[in-house]
Amino acid sequence: MKIGIIGGGINGLSCAWLLAQKGHQVQVYERHTIMNATSRASSKLLHGGLRYLENREFRLVRESLRERNDWIRRVPDLTNPLRLVMPIYQGGRRPAWMMAMGLFLYDHWAGHNDLPGTRRLTAAEVMQRDPLLNPNRLGGGFEFSEVQMDDYLLGLWVAEQAKAIGVTIREHAEVTTVDTHGGVALTNGETRYHDQIVNVAGPWALELLQRSQIDSPHRLDLVRGSHLILQHPCLQAFLFEVPGERRILFVLPWKEGTLVGTTEVRQTLHDAIACSSNEKNYLIDVYRYYFPNRQITVVETFAGLRPLLYTAKDPNKATREFAIHRTGQLTTVLGGKWTTALALARIITDMIQKSLVA
Ligand SMILES: Cc1cc2nc3c(=O)[nH]c(=O)nc-3n(C[C@H](O)[C@H](O)[C@H](O)COP(=O)(O)OP(=O)(O)OC[C@H]3O[C@@H](n4cnc5c(N)ncnc54)[C@H](O)[C@@H]3O)c2cc1C
């Protein structure tokens, strides 16, 4: 079958790779260059998403942990195990018993892998990890395993695997409209026909449907997330509670510096996808709360737009699950996570394989 994929982010590339493995002739259309948008602006974690346990997203966390294992197994050179410390402060939102329960499930669902399990730490042990950490009311903490990746390089790796088995990737090829009979119209006036089209244009997927006058049962909640890169090396990866909020903050090693993120700001596709000065100040304030005596220099900022399914008033509570919507020969994907891109691609591939025998 001839399959057209719209979007060269991690979801589009993963779908292209797995569909080509089934012998399909796959063409990816990417309006800029591959891996230029959301998939390159993530927190760079292949993770279960400990925080999603609070939203009772048990299925998603379990699947993400399985997918995390799969990425480490497939691409050991581009995935790095990371030990994160979550300090527990007196008066915090998440008491030690709650964290212990969540991390017990996390380790259990992660199953057999080479990552070390969770360990409880005393306050003195937490302070040893980074002596500049705020010691006031620190009661101890937990150390647990996650996996870090370079989202851009790992995405390019997937693209290389796809190209090696025949996928063609057309960059600077913007799709203006699609139809439900396999038609893809490009900005240069060309129209291409495929047996199946997969619209995986991330935050732009719904806009493409609207432009093509195709209805969708779903709504997207576009929520910007920004990160800072600080100049100093990161002594220890941390997960912190944002004081007075339900949100959490990552402090992670990134190349020679420290990655701090993220934020949640609703926006439209017309607004710039860039870290605002408010977000920068917010991230600096939270970082300073935990490291009041560290000199900080911001060397870079970046932002991405989460294409979340609209499921909650508070974007922090919105699901990270994806939804798949089919009309005729057109399949649209909305939502999702980096970690679960191959799980999504397996579902899309199965659906397309089944349509072959139907
Ligand atoms: C701040 C932030 C942090 C995150 N952290 C993590 C994390 O640590 N771990 C995790 O698992 N997930 C994380 N995520 C989620 C994850 O990054 C996204 O779910 C994932 O990258 C979405 O990939 P995608 O391929 O669907 O979208 P994108 O990467 O946005 O790709 C869509 C592509 O479609 C192209 N396109 C759009 N319109 C057209 C058109 N008309 N014609 C042709 N091409 C088009 C775009 O140029 C783009 O390249 C994070 C997200 C954000 C925003």
Binding site membership of 332 for ligand 1 (Cβ less than 6 Å): no
Q: Residue 158 Cα, ligand 1 centroid: separation in angstroms?
A: 14
Characterise 88 by phi-psi region: left (phi > 0), alpha (psi -120 to 50), beta (else): beta
Q: Residue 199 Cα, ligand 1 centroid: separation in angstroms?
A: 13
What span, in angstroms and rounded, lies between the C-alpha atoms of 70 and 83?
Answer: 18
Look up the pTM and report it: 0.95
Provide φ and ψ at 106, rounded to 5°. Answer: -60, -50
Higher per-residue confidence, 119 vs 52: 119
* β-strand partners of 356: none
The per-residue pLDDT for range 166-216, each reduced to its tens digit, is: 999 999 999 999 999 999 999 999 999 999 999 999 999 999 999 999 999
Say if residue 234 is in the same domain as residue 333.
no
Q: Choose one of 42, 151, 199, 324 to mutate for the ligand 1 pocket test, by most ligand atoms within 8 angstroms of C-beta.
A: 42
The per-residue pLDDT for range 14-43, each reduced to its tens digit, is: 999 999 999 999 999 999 999 999 999 999
Say if residue 353 is in the same domain as residue 303.
no
Say if residue 22 is in the same domain as residue 169.
yes
Task: Identify the H or E element spanning 183.
Answer: strand 183-186
Average per-residue pLDDT in the chain? 94
Binding site membership of 208 for ligand 1 (Cβ less than 6 Å): yes
Say if residue 210 is in the same domain as residue 227.
no
Q: Choose one of 27, 29, 36, 39 to mutate for the ligand 1 pocket test, by most ligand atoms within 8 angstroms of C-beta.
A: 39
- What does DSSP assign to residue 115? S
* Full residue range of the structural domain in which residue 241 is found: 84-147+220-311
Say if residue 160 is in the same domain as residue 191.
yes
Split into its structural domains, the chain has a count of: 2
Mean pLDDT score, 83-100? 93
Give the other-Cβ count within 10 Å of 117's Cβ.
Answer: 13
What span, in angstroms and rounded, lies between the C-alpha atoms of 177 and 209?
Answer: 7
Binding site membership of 32 for ligand 1 (Cβ less than 6 Å): yes
- What does DSSP assign to residue 132? T
Say if residue 227 is in the same domain as residue 139.
yes
Out of 311, 331, 347, pick the residue that ends a domain: 311
The per-residue pLDDT for range 65-81, each reduced to its tens digit, is: 999 999 999 999 999 99
Cα dihedral 136→139→140→146 (10° resolution):
-80
Out of 277, 293, 311, pick the residue that ends a domain: 311
Say if residue 298 is in the same domain as residue 160.
no
SS3 label, residue 207: helix
Say if residue 166 is in the same domain as residue 29.
yes
Cα dihedral 21→35→85→254 (10° resolution):
130
Say if residue 181 is in the same domain as residue 32.
yes
Say if residue 203 is in the same domain as residue 259.
no
Looking at residue 281, which CATH number applies to its domain? 3.30.9.10
Binding site membership of 204 for ligand 1 (Cβ less than 6 Å): yes
How high is the pLDDT of residue 358? 66
Structure tokens at 90: 């007196």
Q: Choose one of 150, 191, 249, 338 to mutate for the ligand 1 pocket test, by most ligand atoms within 8 angstroms of C-beta.
A: 338
Say if residue 192 is in the same domain as residue 299.
no
Say if residue 228 is in the same domain as residue 246.
yes
Q: Choose one of 148, 324, 337, 344 to mutate for the ligand 1 pocket test, by most ligand atoms within 8 angstroms of C-beta.
A: 337
Exposure string for 263-274, b = 16+ CB within 10 A, e = fewer: bbbeeeeeeebe
Nearest protein CA to atom 19 of ligand 1, as residue = 337
Binding site membership of 348 for ligand 1 (Cβ less than 6 Å): no
